Structure 1
Amino acid sequence: MVTDVNSSGSVNTNANVSANKSALGKDDFLKLMIAQLKNQDPLNPMDGTEYASQLAQFSSLEQITNLNNYLKQSVDANYMLTQSINNTMLANLIGKEVKIGGDSIKVAGQDSVTLGYDIPDGVKSVKINIYNQYGTLVKTIEAPNKKGSNFVDWDFIDGNGNRVADGDYTFEVNAYNYNNEEVEVTQYKSGPIDGVKYTESGTLLIINGVEYSSGDILEIINKKGGDS
């Protein structure tokens, strides 16, 4: 540490305290005060009022430092508590049926996946097109057109009757009214939560053998509606 004491015996607090520090900590502040007392001119001692003022500054600095430490500990404790509560709540969802957002399908050895969609009244026909990772159509499913929520199981069989290879796929639900106009559709996947996995990057839910984050869940449902 470099201590800059001027001719009057007072310490220059603008001095370079450390090459790696841009602000004074309470320990640095105390060391400066001690150095100031050691190096003061006996014939011209530091004014008592000035010294009392510096002591008050040190006391305030220490209180602020302690408060910051307390707040950090409090935030860390609250974060751990929140994580523990969230993990417990997610574990209680095992066995619940959920809707999962997105149009992606991951085939990884499981037997099937449930595709879902919501449609309004007056829909004449619904088709579900399934594409591989290269955008090639591998399967078209004629789907139910009942108003509300509908679910269709895809057993990973393509249009030629063969099981598709494991990998990434996407699906698209197309609905048309009686005027052959396309109708807006909300699509998702559905399945029961089979397990919960805790990782460093967050908690994952295992659904149909695939891992999803809790943010992918759109809705928790009691049981499937519509046709399957």
Structure 2
Amino acid sequence: MDISNITSQATATASQAQSNDKKKLGQEQFLQLLVAQMRNQDPINPMDGKEFASQLAQFNSVEQLVNVNDGLKSLQKSQEMMQMGMTNSMAASLTGKEVRALSSKVHLAPGEEADINYKLNSSAEQVDIVIKDGSGTEVRRASLEGVGSGENSWTWDGKNGSGARMPDGNYTVEIQASSGDSRVKALTFTEGIAKKVRFGSNGVMLTVNNVEVPIGDVEAVGKGIL
């Protein structure tokens, strides 16, 4: 088998790969290895043409897979940028509108009370509403009995367990609901007018009732939800 033409073609291809900055390092290594294999083959038992063609076919398949993978990464990046743009546009359009969003935060304004809204997965024999300050210390606990499933609300007068007025600011609410020995799933939410949109490293945040909520936690938008 005369491999002089094959050798020269492979060598030329390897030289072109080395001079092209866009080529992958794996491509150069493969071609160089193939050329070295051909130069050092046994003259008595030279490389079979079918084997050579098979190796080239395998190399082309790998190269195509690499190109496909690069294309998918590029497509994913484009989709992420498009999705981010759509999210930002949608968030900006929510300002001034009534929204409902999942949130465990509640804001206590000067001299005012605070409504605590929550949803129960099923009716509960007992519901404990636990309010904690910024350090995680419990400041108030209210126990309710015979609370129905679905949406419920309780108004906090802004006082702690001793009857003293708490400082204005944001507090965390935890709902502990149970029926007998079984716990009942509960979620807290806030409803109000979206006042501000903030674009930060943690994503898009809406300010509702002086509490920031991620835009992904918004459940409903529009009139009639309040």
TM range (shorter): 0.5 to 0.7
Q: Taking structure 1 as the reference length, what is the TM-score of the superposition?
A: 0.59
**Alignment-mate amino acid for residue 98 of structure 1:** V
What are the within-5 Å matches in structure 2 for residues 33-52 of structure 1? Answer: 33-52=34-53
Tell me which residue corresponds to 2:203.
202
Tell me which residue corresponds to 1:77.
78
**Alignment-mate amino acid for residue 190 of structure 1:** E
Deviation string, structure 1 residues 63-107 (Cα, Å, up to 9, x no partner): 111111111111111111112112211211111111222443245
Q: 1:96 to 1:112 in 2, by over 3 A?
A: farther
Deviation string, structure 1 residues 146-188 (Cα, Å, up to 9, x no partner): xx9887886x7437574535352427699xxxxxxxxx99853
Percent of aligned positions with the same letter in both sequences?
31
Q: 1:54 to 1:149 in 2, by over 3 A?
A: closer
Tell me which residue corresponds to 1:11.
none
Tell me which residue corresponds to 2:54.
53
Deviation string, structure 1 residues 95-144 (Cα, Å, up to 9, x no partner): 1111222443245889775544689xxxxxxxx9673443332889xxxx
**How far, CA to CA, are the matches of 1:221 and 1:170 in structure 2?**
25
**Alignment-mate amino acid for residue 204 of structure 2:** T
Say whether residues 1:137 and 2:140 are aligned partners: yes
Tell me which residue corresponds to 1:92.
93
Q: Taking structure 2 as the reference length, what is the TM-score of the superposition?
A: 0.59
Q: 1:169 to 1:82 in 2, by over 3 A?
A: closer
Give me the CA root mean square deviation.
4.0
Q: How many residues align?
A: 178
Q: 1:54 to 1:189 in 2, by over 3 A?
A: same
Where do 5+ consecutive residues of structure 2 fail to align?
1-24, 121-127, 144-149, 178-184
Q: Specify which structure has the higher proportion of helix.
A: 2
Tell me which residue corresponds to 1:15.
none
